[in-house]
Structure formats: structure tokens, C-alpha cells
Amino acid sequence: MTIEELKEKGLIILECISGSRAYGLDTPSSDTDIKGVFLLPKKDFYGLEYTAQVSNPTNDIVYYELGRYMELLAVNNPNILELLNTPKSAVLYKHPFLEEINSELILSKLCKNTFGKFALSQIKKAKGLKKKIVNPVRKERKNILSFCYVNYGQGSIPLKKLLEIKNWKQENCGLINIAHMKNLFGLFYSETISYNGIIKNELSNDIRLSSIPKEEKQEALLYFNKDGYSKYCKEYKEYWNWVENRNEVRYKNTKNHGKNYDAKNMMHTFRLLEMAIEIGKDREINVQRPNRNFLLDIKNGIYEYEDLLIMAQERQEEMEKFFENSKLPERPNIELISELAYKLRDKFYKDE
């Protein structure tokens, strides 16, 4: 099932502009995101062809099957609650049957976690970008030799330094295990004996051991910081995957405002926390935000990261206070939502 097929077969029952344009936070460079709901034909729904979700490759356009839509509403998913409460100006099409779905029947204290945790995850994302910008990983990949150290004099030096001092080649080195000493090896050197070297090649993920004749003299003890190497490999992969897939517009915006954090993630942190406060206080979901200027100032990097963390903490505490005193149910009424899902599908199929 593709988006084109949904449209050709007339299966879409809800289609809305979402994201920044629905929030009232769009700027001239903003994309137009679309979210919606579709209804599988009766034959597909009762057969083996159930499709829960259809999207384009970039996930800018996403449609949920009615059953999946109702399922996500039942767990107070923020994106789906926003879709349900899309401002009329951003609704492209809505089947009249869907008017029966009322937020008041679905909202619960679960929103404190779904909106609140989602908001805090945006802080984590913003901080993650800050770390990547402040601590870039060089493109030239380090090998195991950079994580090896040897005893020298009354201390230790990097293995590479010893090889330089001795004018040795790593290929002529041999290593043996030292009993009861994790990641510690005896280091031998010979240009006439065929040792295996310390690593096979630049991409090796572990050191190599050699068979050492008993009469050979041990030159040093070598320590391989294996945990440090594993951590480096993980960070290297994550960083360069991020470079390859990052949103260049957002990255340039972050570099331009010079605050070294993803300001768009921080903007969404405040949007979500404030929406959660409104749910706890007024039992309403206001998708279009009333404080556009403040949120866009965050997006444009007007505020320091540490100041935003303090303000976010204040809003989190405010959110928790309102939910503690809220008359919202602890959880949505699953039976009611299930019954509504059944009635809606039955009406659609009869109408079909």
C-alpha cells in the first residue's frame, strides 16, 4: 500500500497539515508536513493484508489506519492527540463520521508522561547535538595502536611513542598473554623471527598473539585499553552517521546562532511542556501555540542552553502540580475507545 494508492482508492478519511505550520511556528524555510488517517477496505482488514501505517521515505507524510489511530489515541500519544485536535485552518479533509471522536473521552493523566517524557527526550537530543558540535570526531579513524601503552622508565608511554623511539615496526612485534592480568601482554621484538605483529591491519578490532621462543627477551609490558577502543569505535560510528544524515538547515542554524545545541529540539521541549500544562489545567489540547515569538526566539538561539534548562525545570514542576490536582482519569477508558473504534469502522463499511 502506497500513498498514491490511498489517494487513488479514496481511502483517506482525515488529512491535515501538521508540524510547524499547524503549531503556528512556521517560517519561510519550513516544510509542509502532512498527517492523516485512512481506512482499509473491508476485504483487506478482515484478510491478511492489514497495513497499520503508510508514509513517504522522509516521513514528512504519514497516514495511520483507523485501527492504529485509535490504538495510539488510547495511549495518549502526543502526535496523534495533536492530529485529532488540528486547527480547522490546517484540516485539508475530515470525514463527518470522525466528529464522534472527542478529546474529552480520551485525555487522561497519562499525558503527563507521554507529553512530559517526549519533551525531556528533546532536551536529550539537543544536548546530544551540543556534544557532537563541541567534540567532533576526526575523519581519520584511529586504530588499536592508539589505545596501547607500554611501561617505560618509571612510568608509561603510548606504544606509538615507543615504536618511534626504538625505530620499530609494529609488524615485527610479538605479544603473549600475561596470566591473571586482563588486557596486559608481554611485548617482544624481532626482525628475524616471524611474529604476527600487534594488529593485522588498520581495521583490526583486536590485538594478535604470537608464538614466542622461550629464549627470547621480553622488551616491555603492553596494556591495551580495550574498553576505551570500543567506546571510541561507537562514538566514531555515531558521529559520522550523524554527519551523513543530519539536517543541514538545522545544523547550519545551530552553528550560526553559536549556542552549540539543537535549538529546534529545545523549542519543542517548551511547546510540549506547555501543552501538557494546559491538558492538566484545562483538559484541552491547543495545537496552535499562543506564544509564537517566545518559541521562535528559542529556535533562533536567543537563549543560553543553561537558562533554558532552568526554565524547562520550572515548567516541568508546574506541569506535575497541575496533573496532581487534575480531575482527569488516571488512564483512558479503553473499553469506551474500543467500542467507538468498532462503531466507526462498522459505519464506514456500511456506508461503503
219 Cβ contact list (under 8 Å, min separation 6): 187, 188, 189
Which of residues 310 and 49 earns the better pLDDT score?
Answer: 310
**Cα 135–chain centre separation:** 19
C-alpha cell at 258: 553559536
pLDDT at residue 14 greater than cutoff 60: yes
> Please, which pLDDT band fits residue 125 given cuts at 50, 70 and 90?
low
Indicate the pLDDT class of residue 259, thresholds 50, 70 and 90.
Answer: low
Q: What's the CA gap between 191 and 57, in Å, rounded?
A: 56
pLDDT tens digits for range 51-95:
999 999 888 999 999 999 999 999 999 999 999 999 999 999 999
Cβ proximity of 323 and 112 under 8 Å: yes
The arithmetic mean of pLDDT across residues 147-166, rounded, is 96
The pLDDT of residue 126 is 59
How far is residue 299's CA from residue 163's CA, in Å, rounded to a whole number? 50
- Please tell me the predicted confidence (pLDDT) of residue 319: 94
Predicted TM-score (pTM) of the model is 0.66
The answer to whether 73 and 100 are in contact (CB under 8 A) is no
Checking DSSP bridges between strand 91-94 and strand 53-55, what pairing results, if any? unpaired
The whole-chain average pLDDT of the chain stands at 90
Q: Which domains does the chain have, with CATH numbers?
A: 1-106+332-352 (3.30.460), 107-136+247-329 (no CATH), 144-225 (no CATH)
Kindly indicate the confidence band of residue 275, based on its pLDDT and cuts at 50, 70 and 90.
very high
Choose among 50, 19, 107: nearest CA to 299. Answer: 19
Q: How far is 204 from 193, CA to CA, in rounded Å?
A: 22
The pLDDT, as a whole number, for residue 105 is 85
Measured between its terminal Cα atoms, the distance across the chain in Å is 19
Give the residue, 309 or 74, on which the prediction is more confident: 74
